[in-house]
Amino acid sequence: MSKERAEKDTVAYKVEGGIAWVRFNRPEKRNCMSPKLNRQMMRVLDELEFDDAAGVLVLTGEGDAWSAGMDLKEYFRETEAKGMGAIRQSQREAYGWWRRLRWYQKPTIAMVNGWCFGGGYGPLYACDIAVAAEEATFGLSEINWGILPGGGATKVASDLMPMRKAMYHAMLGENIDGRTAEAWGLVTEAVPLSGLRNRVAEIAARLLEKNPVALKATKDAVRRVMDMTYDNAEDFLVRAQEAANSFDNEGRKEGIRQFIDDKSYKPGLAAYDKTKQKK
Ligand code: ACO
């Protein structure tokens, strides 16, 4: 594609069977993130967040890349040429949608189908679950072109990987495959590329069975408690459940009823049938 892609075409999505499949859509540029893509992604996230047809959001890439990180030409060189105001605006646009995704209303899954570099670690971390192709390639390539891994990438590596692995990964700029990314804690699991979509669809289907209020409370709680003391976390979790009860006070009662009274399921083995829950 020689003609420049219109802003609205930099992200593609479709909603199918309760799953919003959202794709970085600049395959000819290995889905690197330009200011246009960052703005469009925020619009798409806005559109889907409270769409009842979508219960889970999957973020993947068109073609053979997930995302080759920030666009070195459009995000860095061209923005820098416009001065500090433009630089800060571009940073806000990128960090803004990653932050939005970290606290998204719905469960999110990164389906990493190929290249994932540098700035790509921001949205990767933002997704609740990350499933990679074993054949995918991950790298903090910043050091290879002369910068530190910024935009959160160093934080992602240090939060998710053991320190020795994070340090090596950031300093050497050597790539790792999906299996190593799983072993180092960067992704939840790695599967062969041929089975990637099915595995993600399977996880999404399991999530769709769960109580959505409990899921949102749970995903936020996992991120929030990470930097709390035990006592603060204990207190926060009591308040978080009480707050969740104000959105849905019947779910957990129904969950107990179906187990204790109906004996129709076992919470240790599956989720209760939320279709029978009083609204
Ligand atoms: N920024 C700008 N353009 C990019 C980027 C990027 N991050 N990644 C790929 N492209 C462009 C290429 O310039 C090329 O454009 P052209 O067709 O106009 O020449 C096109 O996408 C295809 O890229 P190729 O390099 O030809 O694709 P190939 O499949 O051979 O290699 C690879 C893929 C390894 C991902 C390579 O493109 C690459 O190294 N990209 C840069 C990865 C990177 O370091 N990203 C920055 C991380 S640091 C950060 O995000 C802050």
> pLDDT for 202-239, tens place per residue?
999 999 999 999 999 999 999 999 999 999 999 999 99
| Residue 2: pLDDT over 60 | no
Ligand 1 pocket, 43 CB below 6 A? no
Atom 19 in ligand 1: residue holding the nearest Cα: 29
pLDDT bin (cut points 50, 70, 90) of residue 34 is very high
Look up residue 6 and give its two tokens: 């219109």
User: First-to-last CA distance in the chain?
Assistant: 50
**Residues 65, 68: Cα–Cα separation, whole Å:** 7
Q: Which atom of ligand 1 is nearest to the CA of 142?
A: 48
> Which amino acid residue places its CA nearest to atom 39 of ligand 1?
68
Q: Is 29 in the pocket of ligand 1 (CB under 6 A)?
A: yes
Average pLDDT, the chain: 97
For the 7-208 domain, the top CATH level (class) is alpha beta
**Residue % of the chain over a pLDDT of 70:** 99
Domain boundaries, the chain: 7-208, 212-276
When pLDDT is cut at 50, 70 and 90, the band that residue 277 belongs to is confident
Q: Which residues contact 98 (CB under 8 A, 6 or more apart)?
A: 122, 123, 125, 126, 152
Q: Tell me how far apart the alpha carbons of residues 254 and 62 are, in angstroms, rounded to a whole number.
A: 41
pLDDT at residue number 77: 98
Q: Is 68 in the pocket of ligand 1 (CB under 6 A)?
A: yes
Query: Hey, which residues does 65 pair with through a beta bridge?
Result: 115
- CB of residue 69 inside a 6 A radius of ligand 1: yes
Instruction: Give the CA radius of gyration of the chain.
Output: 20
pLDDT at 278: 74
Q: How many angstroms separate the alpha carbon of residue 134 from the centre of ligand 1?
A: 21
Label residue 191 by pLDDT band (50, 70, 90).
very high
Decide: 74 in ligand 1 pocket, CB within 6 A.
no
Q: 248 CB less than 6 Å from ligand 1?
A: no
Q: Say yes or no: CB of residue 221 within 6 Å of ligand 1.
A: no
CA distance 18 to 208: 7
Helices (H), the chain: 35-49, 78-81, 84-102, 121-126, 142-145, 153-160, 163-172, 178-183, 193-208, 212-225, 230-247, 251-260
Which of 225-229's residues contact partners 24+ apart within 8 Å by CB, and which partners? 226/159
